[in-house]
């Protein structure tokens, strides 16, 4: 059965005849002007409200360069604009991290951000510290306050390096001019501090519809980085890879970006998560007097649908996404009616509710899980030059097969990571947890026709138990394993 559509948040529609607004935030060194090619293509579809972040464009003299301060600045501008009704938010690179901070405020009920209905994140700086080498940071900070000739040459080089193909004029000259009019203090503050701020836990996992875009030629913040670092924070996120594009997507691919905005504004319904279906005969058995009251309550609780935006308690959202990816390789499930096994395991880890034992060579369960996931991700980057979440399933399977067999790990594993033997033990334990969690769900028990839950209820005077114990015999009340009765 397909997922059923659900409405978007209860937000009043814009005034009839007035298209919804999309507030647009620029990249490091950019300005509101980078959105002009987009605005020209959205006439009648969306009103582009492009803003300059503190220290850039016409706000070069405005202070406040932390992510929090920039979010405050944008929130004030949005409140002053009086957008009304439904509106959207687009963030490019640096602006994407600010957009995510604003989206978290909106979901937490900030009145000045009421009506936010969707996100577009382009080559976004992720909630976690931005993946940039220290050498690159130092080089970029070194020339921003240099003499005029050096600044111009380096600004031009910066623009050219961040595009998949050279920008046409006058877009290239305008982009270089924006870099040159940026405040050196704001530029340096972002590279030294803002891009390194870790908002992973603060942003958590958002429910808002979002389109995440990365260029295939963007070395640091392309599609693979977006899949690994940004998408895990978005319950209803969709990744779009723009082939051949670099980092300056609004300038390089204005038609594509405008099309994505038009699709976002069109407001396609979200899909609602569905719990795995428990067959009617099995549900009737659960609710019968043959089942102990406490067991019945536990089974019915397990049958409830998982929260698609489950907020992890001991892992961060990227680590939870890693755990989900590993679980999917251990026990693949159909896309509809999935059990969120990873979230259920994470909830137990967060509560400290383990099974009472662990391998002596491993640290505490929650600590072992985090260390193992970091080690696995580091191995993926070492072998494939890509985070684990950016790999195809064949490459993921190959790495996990090596983990299971205790193959030695690579020299650049995290300092607090696990060694090969520890990884093998952790993966053995995890596989057991995955299978137990899957089989504990009543839909799984129904699938295999497990009737042990009806061995005796506390609500009857005589424990019913089993009377037919011969080979091939079954009780009249026993459920039939799905697919074995010709149906």
- Tell me: the pLDDT tens digits for 112-128? 999 999 999 999 999 99
Given a cut of 60, is residue 12 above it in pLDDT?
no
Average pLDDT over residues 77-85: 89
For position 194, what pLDDT does the model report? 96
**Higher local confidence (pLDDT), 183 or 463:** 183
Given a cut of 80, is residue 228 above it in pLDDT?
yes
What is the rounded distance in angstroms from the CA atom of residue 303 to the CA atom of residue 297? 10
Given a cut of 80, is residue 470 above it in pLDDT?
no
Average pLDDT value over all residues in the chain:
90
User: Measured between alpha carbons, how far is residue 396 from residues 35, 322, 330, 385 in Å?
Assistant: 38, 11, 11, 13
Average pLDDT over residues 88-110: 97
For position 463, what pLDDT does the model report? 62
For position 414, what pLDDT does the model report? 81
- Tell me: the pLDDT tens digits for 45-55? 999 999 999 99
Structure tokens belonging to residue 268: 């396609």
410 in Cβ contact with 379 (< 8 Å):
yes
The helix/strand count (H/E) of the chain reads as 19, 8
Report DSSP state, residue 196: G
How many Cα atoms sit within 13 Å of 3 on the Cβ side? 17
For position 47, what pLDDT does the model report? 94
21 in Cβ contact with 49 (< 8 Å):
yes
For position 292, what pLDDT does the model report? 86
Name the residue among 453, 428, 425 with its Cα closest to residue 439: 453
Q: Which residues contact 374 (CB under 8 A, 6 or more apart)?
A: 319, 414, 416, 417
For position 37, what pLDDT does the model report? 95
Average pLDDT over residues 227-248: 96
**Higher local confidence (pLDDT), 480 or 393:** 393
Given a cut of 50, is residue 220 above it in pLDDT?
yes
Average pLDDT over residues 473-487: 64
Average pLDDT over residues 64-70: 97
Three-state DSSP class for residue 323: helix
**Higher local confidence (pLDDT), 348 or 14:** 348
Name the residue among 106, 99, 104 with its Cα closest to residue 67: 99
For position 479, what pLDDT does the model report? 78
For position 270, what pLDDT does the model report? 60
């Amino acid at each position: 059965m397909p997922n059923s559509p659900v409405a978007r948040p209860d937000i009043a529609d814009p005034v009839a005849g007035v298209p919804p607004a999309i507030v647009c935030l620029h990249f490091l060194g950019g300005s509101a002007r980078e959105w002009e090619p987009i605005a020209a293509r959205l006439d009648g579809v969306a009103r582009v409200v492009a803003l300059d972040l503190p220290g850039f464009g016409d706000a070069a003299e405005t202070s406040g360069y932390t992510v929090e301060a920039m979010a405050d600045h944008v929130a004030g501008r949005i409140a002053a604009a009086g957008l009304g009704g439904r509106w959207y938010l687009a963030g490019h690179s640096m602006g994407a991290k600010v957009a995510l901070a604003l989206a978290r405020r909106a979901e937490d009920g900030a009145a000045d951000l009421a009506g936010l209905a969707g996100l577009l994140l382009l080559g976004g700086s992720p909630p976690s510290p931005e993946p940039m080498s220290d050498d690159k940071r130092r080089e970029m900070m070194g020339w921003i306050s240099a003499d005029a000739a050096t600044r111009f040459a380096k600004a031009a080089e910066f623009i050219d390096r961040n595009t998949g193909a050279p920008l046409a004029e006058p877009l290239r000259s305008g982009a270089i001019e924006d870099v040159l009019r940026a405040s050196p203090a704001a530029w340096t503050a972002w590279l030294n501090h803002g891009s390194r701020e870790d908002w992973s836990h603060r942003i958590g996992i958002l429910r808002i519809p979002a389109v995440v875009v990365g260029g295939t030629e963007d070395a640091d913040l392309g599609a693979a980085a977006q899949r690994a670092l940004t998408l895990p924070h978005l319950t209803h996120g969709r990744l779009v890879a723009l082939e051949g594009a670099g980092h300056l997507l609004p300038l390089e691919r204005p038609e594509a970006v405008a099309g994505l905005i038009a699709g976002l504004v069109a407001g396609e319904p979200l899909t609602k998560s569905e719990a795995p279906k428990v067959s009617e005969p099995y549900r009737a058995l659960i609710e019968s007097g043959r089942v102990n009251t406490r067991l019945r309550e536990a089974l019915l609780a397990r049958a409830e649908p998982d929260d698609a935006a489950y907020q992890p308690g001991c892992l961060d959202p990227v680590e939870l996404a890693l755990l989900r990816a590993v679980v999917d390789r251990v026990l693949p499930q159909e896309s509809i009616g999935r059990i969120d096994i990873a979230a259920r395991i994470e909830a137990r880890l967060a509560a400290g509710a383990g099974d009472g034992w662990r391998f002596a060579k491993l640290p505490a369960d929650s600590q072992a899980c985090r260390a193992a996931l970091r080690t696995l991700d580091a191995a993926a980057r070492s072998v494939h030059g890509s985070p684990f979440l950016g790999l195809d399933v064949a490459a993921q399977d190959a790495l996990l097969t090596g983990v299971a067999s205790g193959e030695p790990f690579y020299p650049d594993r995290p300092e607090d990571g696990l060694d090969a033997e520890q990884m093998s033990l952790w993966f053995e334990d995890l596989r057991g947890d995955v299978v137990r969690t899957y089989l504990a769900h009543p839909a799984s028990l129904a699938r295999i026709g497990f009737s042990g839950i009806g061995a005796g209820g506390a609500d009857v005077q005589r424990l019913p138990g089993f009377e037919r114990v011969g080979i091939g015999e079954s009780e009249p009340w026993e459920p039939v394993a799905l697919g074995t009765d010709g149906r």
